[in-house]
Amino acid sequence: MKVALLGLPQSGKKTFFFLLTGRKVSPGVRKEEEALEGIAPIRDQRVDVLAGIFKPEKTKYAENAIVLCPDIDPKSADAGRAWLENARKCDMICFLIREFSSAEIYHPLGSVDANRDRNNLETEIAIADLEMIEKRLERIAKEKKSGQNPAQVEEEKTLLKIKEKVEKDMHFPPDTLGKQELDSIKSLNLLTLKPLVFAYNVNEDSLAKQPKKDDRSLVISCRIEEEIMALNKEDRQIYLKDLGVSSSGLDRLNQTIYDSLGLMSFYTVGPDEVRAWTIRKGATAPEAAGKIHSDIERGFIRAEIIKYDDLVAAGSEAAVKAQGKTQLKGRDYVIQDGDICHFRFNV
């Protein structure tokens, strides 16, 4: 799963990308029209607890792939469309919106106005999609003259439905489309059908005072996140408490992305490794096994499931088994968030 990081110039995207992925964007190394990809680990307290129980040689968190896209430049005639194709290849869009003030850092539009910038950014992706839809509809109209197939009928109908909604509201809820409709326009990679999250980059002194904007938004401060990164785990918790927040902005953003994409984690444990694996909500046991290795899915026999809370309460895997709380599940079992899994297979 890839997340496109988009925003206006001087919004703090490069700093944010580094904080998320640990990959620094050095001046002169990356051309402004190029995208850069990095991996952001999702700090999961359950992984930390399991690692404390098993003392593994290696600990592995779930991850998000973050793609730093070129700036959306409002002063460019086409908004500097170098960002567009990179964003289309991603599964989700995260807009970083500047809400911090600084006399040293200019704003491309002359003033800081987060609501204006958010509207402009949403408008840019809507316009890009409408242009693509118009071109596709024109092509379908030409192809009609030589005969039309059922697939084109479905595609045209779906595109007209999306076009009408986007022209009115600048977005389209993809959950209102059926599978056949989604399949008909899948190759277009429309931005307005992708999940959106908005991260507002605020001043340090206003982080805890900011009200929640909506379910797709969260507030962060890149300056504070830099300070948090330099602290050890104990000092970090004290610092966050003093700020009046429960977790870092990076952790909250990663979890928001995870949830918005309909993802969840299951775990494998042992003395060698404690690891979080990413699957879609609703995935069956064989599908989860396939995340580890295709052979395990192909030769799936059964899954041994331990609930996270049962393991933590018992204190060890042996104690859970002694209490009879290990569950044996077959091919139809739907994995639950937090399940600890051991797969039996034969190939």
- Read off the pLDDT of residues 87-97 as tens digits, 9 standing for 90 and up: 999 999 999 99
Q: What distance in Å separates the CA atoms of residue 197 and residue 186, rounded to the nearest whole number?
A: 21
Question: What is the reported pLDDT for 28?
Answer: 60
Cβ neighbours around 21 below 10 Å, total: 22
Residue 102, C-beta contacts closer than 8 angstroms, at least 6 positions apart: none
Looking at residues 211-238, what average pLDDT do you find? 82
146-159 mean pLDDT: 84
Q: Is the pLDDT of residue 65 over 60?
A: yes
At the topology level of CATH, where does 282-345 sit? Ubiquitin-like (UB roll) (3.10.20)
Percent of the chain scoring above 90 in pLDDT: 60
Quick one: pLDDT band at residue 174, thresholds 50, 70, 90? confident
Q: Across-strand partners of 343? A: 303
Distance of CA 332 to the CA centre of its chain: 28
Considering only 45-54, 97-106, 310-319, which range has the smallest mean pLDDT?
A: 97-106
The structure tokens 């899948």 sit at 186
Report the pLDDT value the prediction gives residue 210, as an integer from 0 to 100.
63
**What is the mean pLDDT of the segment spanning 308-321?**
95
Q: pTM for this structure?
A: 0.86
Helices (H), the chain: 13-21, 45-54, 82-88, 114-144, 150-169, 179-184, 222-229, 233-243, 249-260, 285-292, 294-298, 308-314, 317-322
Mean pLDDT estimate for the chain: 89
The pLDDT-based confidence of 274 (bands split at 50, 70, 90) is very high
Please compute the mean of the pLDDT values over residues 18-23 and round it to a whole number.
89
Domains of the chain, by residue range, sit at 282-345
pLDDT for res 86: 92
